[in-house]
């Protein structure tokens, strides 16, 4: 299975790298790959949310017997592990493919960074919207810019770091 992911990751890298030259003056290849794979995973997240919300749950509450989830929260819970795993695979096999840490260590660290970003997102939105009264969409954009950089440097130096022997 690992060989399949490595092969597909190589193909994706080749495609992304083809579009890199015009951006060479502005960013490193690794950060460009990170941006492209992150954007692709974000679009995948949006499409998956729409499909699950509209066609699977059909805007209906999800009754699990012991708890009933609203349709948008149920959709989030269903899509979350899928998007988390797809993002991890893209980062592992496309962006940070030179890391020599074991896969389970990378996955755990990826989850840690993801949770930290969730907390930064929550705190940033609470601060900008509730304290500074900024418009929520603009606040979300500002916080997203911050979390992109936090995530990139965390993934590069912690999750997928290259161990020098």
User: 3-state DSSP call for residue 122?
Assistant: helix
pLDDT tens digits, one per residue of 74-92? 898 899 999 999 999 999 9
Residue 34's nearest CA partner among 109, 90, 89 is 90
pLDDT (0 to 100) of residue 44:
93
- Domain with 62, as residue range(s), is 1-97
Rounded CA gap, 135 and 76, in Å? 23
pLDDT tens digits, one per residue of 4-44? 999 999 999 999 999 999 999 999 999 999 999 999 999 99
155 by Cβ neighbours in 10 Å (0-12 / 13-18 / 19+) ranks as buried
**pLDDT-based confidence at 165, cuts 50/70/90?**
low
Rounded CA gap, 49 and 76, in Å? 7
User: What is the overall mean pLDDT for the chain?
Assistant: 93
116 by Cβ neighbours in 10 Å (0-12 / 13-18 / 19+) ranks as middle
Structure-derived torsion over alpha carbons of residues 30, 33, 35, 40, reported in degrees to the nearest 10: -160
Q: Looking at the structure, tell me whether residues 3 and 84 fall in a common domain.
A: yes
Which residue(s) pair with 69 in the sheet?
A: 62
Q: Looking at the structure, tell me whether residues 93 and 19 fall in a common domain.
A: yes
Q: What is the CA radius of gyration of the chain?
A: 18
> Contact at 8 Å (CB) between 160 and 92?
yes
Q: Looking at the structure, tell me whether residues 59 and 131 fall in a common domain.
A: no
Q: Looking at the structure, tell me whether residues 78 and 159 fall in a common domain.
A: no
pLDDT tens digits, one per residue of 99-156? 989 999 999 999 999 999 989 988 998 999 899 998 988 988 898 889 989 999 999 9
Q: Classify residue 22 by its DSSP letter.
A: G
Q: Looking at the structure, tell me whether residues 163 and 85 fall in a common domain.
A: no
């Amino acid at each position: 299975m690992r060989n399949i992911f490595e092969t597909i990751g190589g193909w994706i890298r080749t495609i992304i790298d083809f579009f890199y030259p015009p951006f060479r003056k502005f960013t490193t290849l690794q950060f460009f790959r990170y941006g492209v794979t992150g954007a692709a995973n974000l679009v995948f997240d949006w499409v998956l949310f729409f499909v699950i919300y509209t066609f699977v749950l059909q805007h209906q509450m999800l009754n699990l017997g012991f708890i009933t989830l609203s349709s948008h929260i149920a959709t989030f819970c269903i899509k979350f592990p899928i998007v988390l795993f797809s993002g991890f695979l893209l980062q592992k096999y496309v962006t940070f493919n030179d890391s020599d840490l074991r896969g389970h260590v990378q996955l755990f660290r990826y989850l840690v960074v993801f949770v930290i970003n969730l907390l930064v997102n929550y705190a940033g939105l609470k601060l900008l919207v509730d304290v500074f009264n900024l418009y929520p969409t603009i606040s979300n954009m500002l916080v997203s810019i911050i979390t992109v950089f936090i995530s990139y440097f965390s993934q590069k130096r912690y999750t997928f770091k290259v161990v020098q022997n």
